[in-house]
Chains A and B, each alone.
Chain A
Amino acid sequence: MRITVPHCGQMDIFINALSRRIGPEFVIPPKTSPRTLDLGLKYSPESTCLPFKFILGNFIEALEKGADTICMITDRGPCRVGMYDIVMENILREMGYRFNWITLDNTQILRTYLLKFDRERRKRGVSLTDALRSLHFAWKKMKLCEEMERWTHKMRPYEVNRGETTRVHSECLRLLDGVATLKELKAARSDVVSRLSNIQQDRTRHPLKMVITGEGYVVINPHANQDIERRLGEMGVEVTRTMWFTSQIAHAMRVDLFNKRSKSKAIRASKWYLPHNIGGECNASVGYAILSAREGYDGVIQLLPFGCILESVAKNILRMVSRDYDIPILTFSLTENLSETTIVTRLSAFVDLIQRRRKTRDT
């Protein structure tokens, strides 16, 4: 059983940690590259959304690498992601690949585990406590990676040498790669902190603060949003990302009650504009925009894959939020044809606009 999963945020770190300690062999698809997108584009129906194309590309590359079981996490909501699995399975079978397909539905995780993975665990002689312990470790490791990324978002606008934070960050990720126990993780954490704090910073700067919100996949994955966080950071903007892989999972498992910036809080905040929860991230992205306006951020960037059913509703409403709360909102509709230049031009124009706005407000 050689399982593969699509790339989504820091999930590959989670899976790597898990597989090294207990188990079933995982085939991590190669890092998402232009080739991945090309493969996805070639075989997916034309009017599907961007995440579909990336994920299909991931699967094709993983199957080329020798995976024989595909594990896909889906939903039962009104969003199309719930139908990804049957459409993809059909496409891949049509292409002539042979594989097992496992759908991890968020309402049936336990059942799927018992049916599909439990025998595998017993065959390998891994005890249940061991499995749970390594699950805990993998989660912690992933959390640390996300925390690290959050720090880099905060530090990048202050860095003196452009690009240093990105370099140190990738160094730290490599350092974390070898970590295999909780003890080592603790040591690695302090190491990472000291490395990051050694970056030369200019604390006299007064960077703009912006929030990135929108559809989950394109917000979480730098390959889907053309690395928008790094670009903004290097333009001198302190970025706050609203969605993380762990926070999405935590919301799905209903364990994010105490999170300061939780999705449920955002959904509550959007009540005035959208009295009913439509599903997906529609309410949340409206809510995050409202929350960040209240917290005094300078701007909001909404990311959506072109044609997203839910975010297109949010996009219309955000126009009104922008007017009511007096906060600039920029919407990026991401397609596979969006060039780097477009993104950079639009972003720098947006940043300029907000800087001027701040100047006029200060005087």
Chain B
Amino acid sequence: MRSVHVGIPRALLYYRYFPLWNTFFRELGAKVIVSRPSTRSVLEDGFNYADDDVCIPIKMIFGHVLDIKDKVDYLFIPRLLSDNKRGYCCPRLAGLPEMIKYSVPGLPPMLDPFVDERYRATRLSGALSKAGRTLGCNFLQIRRAYSKAREQHDQFQRRMRDGESVLDLTAAFERDGFFPHQPLTEKEEGGSVRIGVIGHPYSLYDALLNFDLFKRLKEAKASVFTQEGVPQHTIDLQVQQVKKDIYWTLGREILGAAFHFLDSKVADGLIYVTCFNCGIDSMIEPLVNFRTKRMASPYMALMIDEHTGIGGLVTRLEAFLDTVRRRKCNSVDERRRS
């Protein structure tokens, strides 16, 4: 018998939850099919169906859905309202299954578990088990699959925190189905400059939207720090500097990481990758901006939209790296003189 094919689009929360979802469905005996890495044509496919008021990552997922919809029996698009006890994800993610369902014709049936971690009844485990029951699995199988998936997810998070690159990890996991034992990325302490890179994971790690930022930074001999490497308690502590509780989980993470990079002088410069029309970034970015202004540290916000050309971004990146380097040299000179 042919196993059930479950399609996962390579967009949005793929970069956060892929090991969990993949392991879960694989353990249930389904075959997981992931869409191609983003390209220009995927994005343009998305434009044809997506509304013009939404941000690019959402348009991107439309493209990815179109890419895999004919190859799979079920499309997995979780409806994530909140993935934290006291926070929300982007509300667009909560309405995503509807947006796709009502815009794209000819879709396979959708697995859209509703996840709201604030309440007991709608936790991730319960929501996924509903999806598992749709696939016709029994309670025990689901239980076993979930605990294995959770294990992988925990390992994923631990290794991200240890400084391994998300891209390397997901790529390795997709290839082998498990994480290799030895660390994938060497911790590069020896780089000439240290750059903190923040932003929503789905714009930061998308093959098209990040315009090979990490590769370019590596070529420029810069060591990169991302928000995934900052432990949760540090984020909690840093966010308290803002008078208000930041209720977006991802926004909170970005802001906490940015403040951490600035305060502890971990990074010499900060790059914020944001997408045009992102509601969360439009509020978080100014806060980071004010902070960097007050501390007079180098900062660059890269706003990406569908017309962004790589040339302009690369020039800005090079100029930014030069600024950071010069400042670093100057401060070292001053210290020597005094």
Contacts and interface: CB of A to CB of B under 8 A. Distances in A.
B90 A317 contact: no
A77 B283 CA distance: 14
Interface stretch (B35-43, B92-100, B311-319): B92-100
A78 to B, nearest CB: 4
A306 B95 contact: no
B54 interface: yes
Given A47-B277, A90-B290, A313-B99, A278 B81 contact: yes
A203 interface: no
Contacts of A317: 95, 98-99, 102
Q: Which of B90, B116, B276, B286 has the most CB of A within 10 A?
A: B286
B191 interface: no
Contacts of B167: none
Contact of A312 (B92, B242, B276): B92
A307 B88 CA distance: 18
B4 interface: no
A312 B248 CA distance: 18
Contacts of B290: 90, 94
A282 B248 contact: no
Contacts of A315: 51, 53
A86 B243 contact: yes
A82 B281 CA distance: 14
Given A280-B91, A317-B95, A312 B54 contact: yes
Contacts of A87: 283, 286-287
Given A87-B286, A90-B290, A316 B99 contact: yes
Contacts of B242: 86
Which residue among B92, B246, B283 has the maximum number of chain A CB atoms within 10 Å of its CB? B283
Nearest to A306: B53
Interface in A13-52: 45, 47-49
A113 B47 CA distance: 49
A47 B102 contact: no
B287 A308 contact: no
Interface in B282-338: 282-287, 289-290, 293, 303
A32 to B, nearest CB: 21
Given A273-B98, A278-B94, A91 B286 contact: yes
Given A276-B81, A333-B53, A320 B102 contact: yes
Nearest to B279: A309
Interface string B247-286: 1100000000000000000000000000011111111111
Interface string A307-345: 111111111110110000000000001000000000000
B179 to A, nearest CB: 33
A47 B103 contact: no
A9 B150 CA distance: 49
B200 interface: no
Contact of B92 (A94, A275, A313, A333): A313
Interface in A159-206: none
A274 interface: yes
B103 A313 contact: no
Nearest to A311: B53
Contacts of A77: 88, 247
Contacts of B243: 86
Contact of A309 (B90, B246, B284, B286): B90
Contacts of A78: 81, 88, 90-91, 94, 247-248
A45 B283 CA distance: 8
A273 B101 CA distance: 10
Given A86-B243, A312-B54, A48 B94 contact: no
A79 interface: yes
B92 A319 contact: no
A83 B53 contact: no
A65 interface: no
Contacts of B233: none
A310 B91 contact: yes
B95 A282 contact: yes
A82 B247 contact: yes
Q: Can you list the 6 inter-chain pairs with the closest CB atoms, starting with the nearest?
A: A313-B95, A309-B279, A320-B102, A312-B53, A83-B283, A47-B282
24 contacts: A47-B276, A47-B282, A78-B88, A78-B91, A78-B247, A78-B248, A80-B279, A83-B283, A83-B284, A86-B243, A87-B283, A90-B286, A90-B287, A91-B286, A279-B91, A304-B53, A307-B279, A313-B94, A313-B98, A314-B95, A316-B51, A317-B95, A317-B102, A319-B102
Interface of B: 51-54, 79, 81, 88, 90-92, 94-95, 98-99, 102-103, 114, 116, 242-248, 276-287, 289-290, 293, 303
